[in-house]
Structure 1
Amino acid sequence: MASSDQPPGPMPPTAHGEKAPGKPMTAGQTMLDTGAAMLQSLKPVKQISQHVCTFALYAHDLGRQIETHHFVARLNQDFLQCAVYDTDSASGRLIGVEYIVSDKIFEALPPDEQKLWHSHAYEIKSGLWVNPRVPETVEKPELENLAKTYGKFWCTWQVDRGDKLPLGVPALMMSPQGVNLGRVRPDLVERRDDKYNISTDSLRASRLEIEEPEWINPQADYWKQHGKGFAIDVIPTEMKKIAPFP
């Protein structure tokens, strides 16, 4: 069994209502964090400019599906990086990272690397990808560009199986697709829609005019063509020997 699919071992004790084990913050720690936030630049974090709510499927088990909250920073027109959380509340847990590249960059990747990526066209067109509270007319130009992109998403904290800590190795995630195994469970979509008072069906209808990419590389969404996903396993290996300085 691949390590990314192994159930966690015994969980550490957690206080009632807490998502992770640990003592509550002290007044001193709170003051330190507040003071540091005022004095330090935190430049990489301040580049985050968008919140996206969508869904992801485990590459080794498409039946395991989660709602995700991407906080997106744009490095340039062809590259975005996302800190992924399980919720947009203040207690949200950082569960992974996704990198998003344009089709131009993706086509230049080696074929074996492309197998780890997924396309976004269906996710955008179907209304599953949303920027909560942002009017559809405002985000549509961005959606038209995103429909041509590819993403690689590693989940580092499998909260859906009850992990109280980020245990084990990262799990590769895939995007929803318009075929049977890739469809998102209706109850997940309904719960998300109720939370933000939106209608995925209405969003899908409003995005009919967004053009489909002329070409979606079949190396992406590899499972659709080959029925195989990817999982990480941990194996012992010899450490590299570095000669000491004379």
Structure 2
Amino acid sequence: MASSDKSPEPTPPYGGEQPPGKPMTMKQHVLDKGAAMMQSLKPIKQMSQHVCTFALYSHDMSRQIETHHYVSRLNQDFLQCAVYDSDDSTARLIGVEYIVSDKIFEALPLEEQKLWHSHAYEVKSGLWVNPRVPEMIGRPELDNMAKTYGKFWCTWQVDRGDRLPLGAPALMMSPQAVNLGMVRSDLVQKRDDKYNISTDALKQSRVEIDEPEWISPQADYWKQHAKGFAVDIQSIEMKKRAPFP
């Protein structure tokens, strides 16, 4: 089953876009409040940035979505992002993206590099934004981000109407300045209206951001080879015992 290529069977007929299920009870609210007070939630509290941008499905780049990345930095060369479909309190967790410096990316095996995308155009074009953060404050991070690569797996294809996370994950690509990589103007305008920004103005203000001297042709693989990637689910024989030492 190539779940990236085909819509799944309909989910249970509950109204709205949210997953099917009963409303939360008062007991559950009390439990959640108590847990939040007593537990550290350290990984979540390391999320220090909210980024709004766009992503395209590797196997069908006509499908484009707005994404909201909640970013935590493990070190200067590695970031991890929980990706949501909005910044609302009811936002759905739709995937995860890992972001690495060019130094780490260039050390990856060539086959692995094919799954990654570059961020230079996304940053320079004004598509990558930190909502409500003044450009002057975010500029050092933008300078760094333009030289990074990301691998983004979408686990919940809400754009095709899925009200549950169904099937295999889908590999996502970043916007680019060529044909299929261009983000639709209506998506950009909707985002700009929400945050009262101008992507075109941001693009002009970022002209002086340094681009990488060289972007690996293995990244953004579709640009050179017109081939995307989709995940298939196959039935296999299970390993029944550990291998003998």
What is the distance in 2 between the residues matched to 1:231 and 1:148? 26
1:27 aligns with 2:30: no
Q: Which runs of structure 2 are paired with 1:134-153 in the superposition (5 Å)?
A: 134-153=133-152
TM-score (norm 2): 0.97
TM-score (norm 1): 0.97
Please, which moves more after superposition, 3-12 or 77-86? 3-12
Give the aligned residue type for 1:211: D
Shift of 1:7: 0.4
What is the aligned partner in structure 2 of residue 184 from structure 1? 183
Q: Which runs of structure 2 are paired with 1:1-246 in the superposition (5 Å)?
A: 2-15=2-15, 17=16, 19-242=18-241
What is the distance in 1 between the residues matched to 2:95 and 2:205? 30
What is the distance in 2 between the residues matched to 1:87 and 1:127? 18
Which segments of 5 or more consecutive residues in structure 2 lack a partner in the other structure? none
Which segments of 5 or more consecutive residues in structure 1 lack a partner in the other structure? none
Give the aligned residue type for 1:193: D
Shift of 1:2: 2.5
What is the distance in 1 between the residues matched to 2:151 and 2:17? 30
Runs of 4 or more consecutive aligned structure 1 residues displaced over 6 Å after TM superposition: none
Q: Is the 8 A contact 2:2 2:168 kept in 1?
A: no
Shift of 1:110: 0.1
Shift of 1:8: 1.6
Q: Secondary structure at the match of 1:101?
A: strand
Identity fraction in percent: 77
What's the CA shift string for 1:141-164, capped at 9, x where partnerless? Answer: 100000000000000000000000
What's the CA shift string for 1:26-48, capped at 9, x where partnerless? Answer: 00000000000000000001100
Give the aligned residue type for 1:84: V
Q: Secondary structure at the match of 1:203?
A: helix
Residues 58, 30 of structure 1: alpha-carbon distance in 2 compared, 3 angstrom cutoff: same
Shift of 1:19: 1.1
What is the distance in 1 between the residues matched to 2:26 and 2:211? 53
Residues 24, 189 of structure 1: alpha-carbon distance in 2 compared, 3 angstrom cutoff: same
Shift of 1:79: 0.2
What's the CA shift string for 1:80-138, capped at 9, x where partnerless? Answer: 00000000000000000000000000000000000000000000000000000000010
